[in-house]
Structure 1
Amino acid sequence: MDTPEGTRKWLFYAFLGMIADILDIILTSVIPDKRPQRSIVPSDVDQLSNEEILKLSKNSSKLHPDAGVVKLTPGTVAKGSQDLDEDAADASEANALDLLFAETTIPVPRVRRVVKRQWDFWIVMDYISGPTLAHVWGTLSTWQKIRVAFTLRRYVRQLRRLKASATTPPGPLSAQGARICESPIFGQVQSHRGPFASYSELSDFFNKRHQMAMDAKKLPRDDPSRNDLFDDSEPLVLTHQDLNLRNVIVGEDGRLWIVDWGWAGYYPPWFEYVVMRRQNEDETISGTNDEFWKALVPFICGPYFRQERWLWRMSQGLYFR
């Protein structure tokens, strides 16, 4: 049950969000986005064969010691696909980037080539030069940080316009159909579940786990909390699921570029908020322990406090396989 303080907090963020969305509509109508990422610019891998790209990748250096992304050429990087399905027919991250490039104005790397390897795909995309937001966050003024949050909220609003069709399964984008889902939402014991053939299957999974958690806590069968179910009231929308300061690059053009779409897929809108909250509670993941950044998360993704509490209460049920 919401406390008066919790209700006031929700109303505060909901009001701020409403004002921001009105400003977004006004700005978009006065200064329409030019969609610069849609322009067709040649790449320095266009003339290379798949075999040449694979050979080149063997001698390429990592952009970061702990990252799986390599600098392939001066203008491109490459990374392995993160799909967990055996014999995957396509690379879901490349599918998500192609959709974003075509249907939104969110600055994302353009996919230049998808090359099949033995066990996965090699995704070749544009190299985005610039520091991560984690690197520069501490140097920004309060006003600059608010502008960043406003921009990210605009990006999330665009993501939520990309809704799954009635027959599209939850999870990674693929022509193959339902795929294994990977997300921090599923917990630390096992971060991947599924595949789920439909939205209702995803809801049933969580509701069953909710009952398992209630049983583990030995709650009576008539306890009202057993009737508090998974929120599937909103349609599935495209979510990034790893929004943190390390995955936002401040480009040389001044725009904020979103990278690392390996966990992207169609999920309930509140997944973005919960994952962002969790990712940004860990300084080693987010790149900062700044409380102001954490306070901006509900503004960026929406204040889904009730859904977050529900997931926390039933999290014990995710320990079971």
Structure 2
Amino acid sequence: MEPMMCPFSDPHSRDLEGDIPLDGKDLDAITDETLATLLESAPVLHDTKVVRLSQHLVMKGGILTPRTQYFATKGYLMIDFIAGQPLGECWNDLTYDNQRQIAMQVADMIKEMQSVAILQPDPLGGGPFRGRFFIDYSVGPFKDSVEVQDWFNHKLDICKRVNQCPKDIPPFQFGKLVIPHHDTSPRNLILDQDGKVWLIDWADAGAYPPAFESVALLAQQFFTGFNEAVLSLIPQFPEEERQLDSITYGEAKPCRTQTIHTRRSITSSVHPTSSPSRSTLQDAGMLPPCSRNSRKILSPSSPSPSPSNKTFRTKQKLAKAQRQNRPIPQWIRLRTGNTIRYNAKRRHWRKSTLKV
């Protein structure tokens, strides 16, 4: 890596006189394709990127993302190859000055995305809502911002009910909506050979409140130096950040053994007086529906497992007894309504009826 990465600026871009691409030309006659080309060819005022179009015009844009070349509904897309290395693999090896320059580039990207106001909350491309503040099997889609706001307030009410957040947290009231990337991390940044970073993996991006970005950075457990450097350069939203942090108790990811994922709180910790039931969290949309026995994810319409859990455990005990060569009476039989259960304390088999 080069010793120092400095923002590039073309001296010609600051000329008060001289030949600049659109001098003396009618802007209305310039096509969008020409303007896009000028973003790469016009004199650069600042490399994140601002270019000089004429004596009186500049153009800003150019968040570095690979260009999508092909997209299909079968689950794949084709994008540009960026010659470089993942920032997550080399971040710790960079000098402080280089890390600071990269943090400034990322902060400029975030500020650029937060300068775009959007009316309707929505993931990029539409469809269900995904990301840090939504459960991984997705929620929605929602009709409007009121429905999204109600969903967040429902999560907040559940967290208050089970004593997992302070009672004085106010309800959500979404105002300005921007485009948070929602997963800005060195693992999603590519550092090219010129010292510029490219932002990839936009799966969680969408139209959300600007605090989503800063809370997502605060919540990341890795690359804390990167997170702190970027957070020091972007706008902060203390009240909204406190609201979003208060509902993180219900963030969960479905897996073979279902667990509730919590993270280090950025507000004062709250200790529960009682543990919430699983059904309470499922009703709140915080956990996916799971079978009681295997904890595997079930669809709402899935039939209950058969045989029943009691019968299943009884068969397990019987098989264990048989493996250990314990004496079993000849009249033992297993069927739905007439099950034999082994009493470990009295060391004999007891006949019982199970409802399945």
Instruction: Calculate the TM-score normalised by the size of structure 2.
Output: 0.51
By how many angstroms is 1:140 displaced? 1.8
The corresponding residue for 2:174 is 232
Q: For the Cα contact (< 8 Å) 2:127–2:141, is it kept in 1?
A: yes
When residues 103 and 150 of structure 1 are mapped into structure 2, their CA distance, relative to the original with a 3 A threshold, is: closer
Q: For the Cα contact (< 8 Å) 2:164–2:246, is it kept in 1?
A: no
The corresponding residue for 1:307 is 240
When residues 211 and 115 of structure 1 are mapped into structure 2, their CA distance, relative to the original with a 3 A threshold, is: closer
The corresponding residue for 1:270 is 211
AA aligned to 1:312 is D
Report whether the alignment pairs 1:196 with 2:138: no
Task: Write the distance in 2 (CA, Å) between the matches of 1:191 and 1:171.
Answer: 16
By how many angstroms is 1:244 displaced? 0.3
Task: Write the distance in 1 (CA, Å) between the matches of 2:62 and 2:188.
Answer: 17
Report whether the alignment pairs 1:182 with 2:130: yes
The corresponding residue for 2:354 is none
Higher Rg of the two aligned structures = 2
When residues 316 and 145 of structure 1 are mapped into structure 2, their CA distance, relative to the original with a 3 A threshold, is: closer
Q: For the Cα contact (< 8 Å) 1:111–1:123, is it kept in 2?
A: yes
Equivalent residue runs for 1:221-300 within 5 Å: 225=168, 228-233=170-175, 235-278=176-219, 280-281=220-221, 283=222, 288=223, 291-300=224-233
Q: For the Cα contact (< 8 Å) 2:104–2:230, is it kept in 1?
A: no
Q: For the Cα contact (< 8 Å) 2:113–2:180, is it kept in 1?
A: yes
Task: Write the distance in 2 (CA, Å) between the matches of 1:179 and 1:116.
Answer: 13
Report percent identity of matched pairs.
Answer: 23
Task: Write the distance in 2 (CA, Å) between the matches of 1:185 and 1:307.
Answer: 13
Corresponding residue SS for 2:190:
strand
Task: Write the distance in 1 (CA, Å) between the matches of 2:93 and 2:248.
Answer: 37
Instruction: Calculate the TM-score normalised by the size of structure 1.
Output: 0.56
Which stretches in structure 2 are left out of the alignment for 5+ residues?
1-6, 16-20, 22-32, 39-58, 252-280, 286-356
- Structure having the higher helix fraction is 1
By how many angstroms is 1:37 displaced? 11
What do you get for the CA RMSD once the two structures are aligned? Answer: 3.4
- Residue by residue over 1:22-72, the C-alpha shift from the partner in whole angstroms, topping out at 9 and shown as x without a partner, is x9xxx9x969xx9999449xxxxxxxxxxxxxxxxxxxxxxxxxxxxxxxx
Corresponding residue SS for 1:261:
coil
Task: Write the distance in 2 (CA, Å) between the matches of 1:191 and 1:271.
Answer: 19
The corresponding residue for 1:137 is 91
By how many angstroms is 1:270 displaced? 0.6
Corresponding residue SS for 1:107:
coil
By how many angstroms is 1:192 displaced? 2.1
The corresponding residue for 2:66 is 109
By how many angstroms is 1:272 displaced? 0.9
Using CA pairs under 8 Å that are at least 6 residues apart, name the structure with larger relative contact order, 1 or 2.
Answer: 1
Q: For the Cα contact (< 8 Å) 1:298–1:304, is it kept in 2?
A: no
Corresponding residue SS for 2:72:
strand
Q: How many residues were matched structurally?
A: 208
When residues 30 and 141 of structure 1 are mapped into structure 2, their CA distance, relative to the original with a 3 A threshold, is: farther
